[in-house]
Structure 1
Amino acid sequence: MNQKVGGRFWKTAQRGLLSCLRGLIRAILSLAAGIPLFVLSVVSIALIPVGVGLVLAPLALTGVRLFADLQRVWAAEWSGVPVPSPYRPLPARGPLRRLRGMLADPATWRDLLWTLLNAPVGLLLNLLPLAMVVYGLEGVVVASWLGQVAGYGWGPFWPLGDWGVVGVAGCLVLGALLTQAGLRWGPHILKGYALFVQSLLAPTRGALQERVRRLTETRADTVDASAAELRRIERDLHDGAQARLVALSMNIGLAEELMKQNPEAAQELLAEARAASGQALTELRDLVRGIHPPVLAERGLDGAVQALALSLPLPVDVRIDVPGRAEAPVESAAYFAVAEMLANVVKHSGAQRAWVQIEHDGDRLLMLVGDDGTGGADPGRGSGMRGIERRLAAFDGTMAVTSPPGGPTVVTMELPCALSSPRTSPS
């Protein structure tokens, strides 16, 4: 029994001391990082009209986001309070576009408000467990004995008159209770701070509702696109390979009947059957390639896009820097997006050359497809681009088309994703 009580005491003490250490780290960062970042952000935003802020503001706001993201991670890992990231996707290129995206994001201003309020609130809540423990230990270890030696008439907790047995006992008891309270309630106090972080740094109700609405729309678009894809596959099978296989079966049956009576006619039917089987096999391969190309599964997005570029009737410059493999659905969506854009280049652009650039910047896959054609591409006029836009939206992806009359055309597509495994060279 005593061992169980002792074990619980040491576990409580360990958790409490760990909370004190974590609170001290947070309190130091609240002052050392939070206040300078807030001041720098406000000053840099104010200096945007004179040009200096165009350089400083993105750096300062990025620092605020990194500081806020660190608090989100700590809130989840240390206190079990999840704080999802509320930021909107930023353009991958162009410092002015990224700055405009930051300033238009409501989460940026909530970050700044949190940084300002975090200085007093974070300092108070994060230092409170450590202060309780230190002050309690001071009452137990230092204050009572110091009172005995110096002859003070006041204890650290309340006036006890002349120091004696009662005063010493009071200091010891109250100090022990305060120390125990700090150790026991330290994790709960830090959880209260994590809830404060969640209240300002988590997505708002409006943002969550917008997210739900967006997911509902993309899910409906995905279901419609999947149904249309299934109908296309059924139609291609019925009108193509299935019809050829039926004709192949009939020709083989006729050849069996004519084998004895008219061998030459039977040989002609068998030759037709062989040709029909080759065509049916080709159509089946094309159908499978349209569902999920085998080269994509074997060689990844890099090899599949390289093979696709070699099959086109115009030169395509391909540059890919993706040091890993994305999940299969994301990789498939990226491949078919690039394939559709290149198909549009061949069919409609009148281009002499095209280029594809794919890279991964840490949390998203960036794909750019361009050509030197006549321009004037409009996503609203063609079903192909709209279909790709819906397909990317199912993964929170985006597509932007820049195609002035006379060209060039550049299609920028982004897919949020993480790389699950390192890229391997094809054998």
Structure 2
Amino acid sequence: MATEYGHGYGHGREDGGSTGTGHRLPAALRAPFEERSWREFGYVLLSLPLAIVLFTWTVTMVSLGTGLLVTFIGIPVLAAALAGCRGFGALERARARGLLRLDVAEPEPLRVRGPGALAWIGAVLKSGTSWRNALYALLQFPWAVFSFSVAVSLWTTGWTLLTYPLWFWVFPAYAGQGGLQLYGDEHHSVYLDNPFEITVTALVGLLFTLATPWIVRALTTVDGLLVRGLLGPSPLSARVVELESDRGVVVDTAAADLRRIERDLHDGAQARLVNLAMGLGLAKEKLLEDPDSAAAMVEEAHGEVKTALQELRDLARGIHPAVLTDRGLDAALSSVASRCTVPVRVEVDLPARPAPAIEGIAYFTVSELLQNISKHSRARSASVDVWRTEDRLMLQVTDDGVGGADVSLGSGLAGLAGRLDAVDGVLVVDSPTGGPTQVIAELPWRT
């Protein structure tokens, strides 16, 4: 695999962050009027009625289905209850995306094995997503009651007190009292009716108004955790999907390696051995009638044998070098560095040898990176550093070439990154146009 180094280095990334619009007001003063605050408040307002419906459905149907388990009817009733919870879960994910701008991945779909209603009922009952959605219904209801009460109380109190100077005249005009009653008993009453008290009331309302969006934001953060944790894909299922994808990469890589070995054998050593057999056959026929010519043909065949043996050694080294098995990464990387077209400094600082499979991947990673340097980088020098950090094997290959390497271009580096990802490894490339290029690979140690 080879990666071309050029001048088309692209970042391929969207910041998605603030672009510095230069707001004159600080965030604390803008918050009550921002669209985000009203979206979050709307989310809290909708949470209570939806939570009541979801909680009622879940408790009623699950209780009914559990009570009827003594008969066959309880099983489909329980499946219907969980299916309804899955439907509510889809609604809640959509609501979180729309109002909270929360990016929640869809959970794993039902795996119905076989046709018919019984297969579907079994899939619903065995699905972890169904039960996590039911758990969300039970946990979200008390939280929705709490957050609704807090948000509505703070929001109405803040805006009511803040706008008190605009509507306090209602009390003397229609209620027969000086203003909003702060305290009252049989003997005396306290009203907020003079300019100072009205001003203080408005200031207190301002504090409530400024603080409420941040409190609501904290409340919806908990909602986001509930949605992401119980309505999104479970970590276990996500890991299974990742392992299935990695297994596909490993199978494809192994198949590609087998095709490469077959091609190298067919075009290299096999072709030479066929020519050698033909040459020796001709030499055998001419051995008695023309010994000198036969001797020359044998000499030529001897050279072909040497070349074929060298190609076979190179092929075996490409599959798994003996020096790696016998002496480890230090000697193996020094050997591959000596074949690089530019001077390479190799420094390996490992307390012990990693797992053989990881050691092999590390060797071929460095080998391909050095091959890239030889073919494309136009570098004057390079270096290879290998060390261990906790339970990870770290590789760093640098060169002072022209740079411009980019994993996103679908080149050899992309294939190398896929191989590392198949074993929970990471490949990071830093190669600005003009250089230098630094490639860091991280692999699990797995002793």
Larger proportion of helix? 1
Q: Which has the larger radius of gyration?
A: 2
Instruction: Give TM-score scaled by structure 1 length.
Output: 0.49
